[in-house]
Amino acid sequence: MSVELRRNGLHLTGTPLSLDATRKTPLSFVSHGHSDHIARHESTIATAATLRFMAHRLGKVNAPLAVPYNQLFELGPLMLELLPAGHILGSAQLRVIRGDGRRIVYTGDLNVVPSLTAEPTQVAECDVLVIEATFGHPRYRFPPREEVFGAVEAWVRQQQERDTVPVLLGYALGKSQEAMKHLAGRGFELVAHESIFEMAQLYTELGVHIERLRCFDGTVKPGEVLFFPPHLSRTGGLTGIWPRATAVLTGWALDAGAAYRYGAQVAFPVSDHADCPSLVKYVKATGAREVLTHYGFKAELAQVLRDEGIDARPLGSKPQQLALF
């Protein structure tokens, strides 16, 4: 058995199982509900939360298999298990166990920092690790989460003291809910674009309530903080909100010019991904003897891991395989 990169994503050769396939497949594990990881598969393995997000975005999910964390289930001769990934609510890693006990783990998107709105990451011990490398370059070292949210809060208060509407740009699913949860806990009243508000309602349905929140109707009341999707911030949706100040919440805030690229005045490094040091620490904690990096800065992360004495290599754009056993 091996892992190979196909046009629609990763696939476990010798099995019907794809991993976060981006096009329809007979069977795919879906690690979480972000739109770049889901598709209308003939059958889907995921957590109940991820399946709920998929249904919201795609409509009815065909042949869903909702799997709780830490519960073994069979796929032919293999045993499979989902473990929390800490990325967003319901995000999961997949551990595949062969009959002789050898284990491979696919992380999907991973975040090891404790979150207010996602299950705590669980280290997935394994022999072979396939790990995402979105922020795998050594230059990505995020400040402590408490420090970043403290800066966001201070910025929001500063704008309100100036009678300016603070607008926070964040993706509809995951990052916005965590930032809203933090600010609501600090006493702020919140208003969110419909796409973000709907996801917050799903969070409540799934047991994570976002307080002090209403749906954006084109107006912002005094004292409210507005959450808006980055891709809609330049389309006129904010035209009637003035005076306003705009900040974007993104891990790419560490890059020069990040705020400008998002059409914001300031960028805060709030990320639902692990940074490079956290990825390296996680790899070591799994005990993996072989590591395959994919996506993002996969070559850079593989080099960092090799410098640490770990057998690691990136999965390239050309057909490649990692022999697992």
From the list 270, 275, 282, the residue with the least C-alpha distance to 308 is 282
Q: What is the pLDDT of residues 98-121, one digit of tens each?
A: 999 999 999 999 999 999 999 999
The pLDDT tens digits for 190-227 are 999 999 999 999 999 999 999 999 999 999 999 999 99
High-pLDDT (> 90) share of the chain, % = 90
End-to-end CA distance of the chain: 7
Q: What is the β-pairing status of strands 78-84 and 73-75? A: antiparallel
| pLDDT tens digits, one per residue of 14-52 | 899 999 999 999 999 999 999 999 999 999 999 999 999
Domains in the chain, please, with CATH? 2-139+273-323 (3.60.15.10), 145-268 (3.40.50.10710)
- The two tokens of residue 250 are 């993104």
CB 80 within 8 A of CB 120: no
In terms of DSSP bridges, do strands 9-12 and 18-19 run parallel, antiparallel, or are they unpaired? antiparallel
Distance CA 166, CA 206 (A): 28
101 CB neighbour count, 10 Å cutoff: 8
CA distances from residue 2 to 17, 26, 96, 287 in whole angstroms, order as listed = 11, 18, 12, 19
